[in-house]
Amino acid sequence: MATGWAGDGAVQDQIDATIKDAIKRARDQLPQGPGLERCEECDTPIPEARRKAIPGVRLCVSCQEARDREQGGVGGYNRRGSKDSQLR
């Protein structure tokens, strides 16, 4: 049963859209093209297992972790929001 002006399943549609957006954003950040044998930041050899697991890899684990920390978490959108946050 829908409440207000939202149709049946509107909340689930918003959840699905948020998940699809997050998946697309993550896939867009994956490396493209041929991988490197040595890290482009520190010139450390990239292990073969990492190159097989992540096609197009360009950074060693240490440099990738540092880059991830610099970029921080993705804020994203809270499409559902709590009732209290909508009243403020």
Residue 27 neighbours by CB under 8 Å, 6+ apart: none
If you search the block for the tokens 């991988």, which residue do you land on? Answer: 35
DSSP letters for 18-78: HHHHHHHHHHHTS--SSPPSB-TTT-PBPPHHHHHHSTT--S-HHHHHHHHHHH-------
pLDDT more than 90, % of the chain? 42
Instruction: Specify the number of domains making up the chain.
Output: 1
Q: Which domain holds residue 40?
A: 34-72
Prediction pTM value: 0.52
- Does residue 44 lie within any of the structural domains? yes
Name the β-bridge partners of 45.
38
- Does residue 62 lie within any of the structural domains? yes
Q: How confident is the model at residue 49 (pLDDT cuts 50, 70, 90)?
A: very high
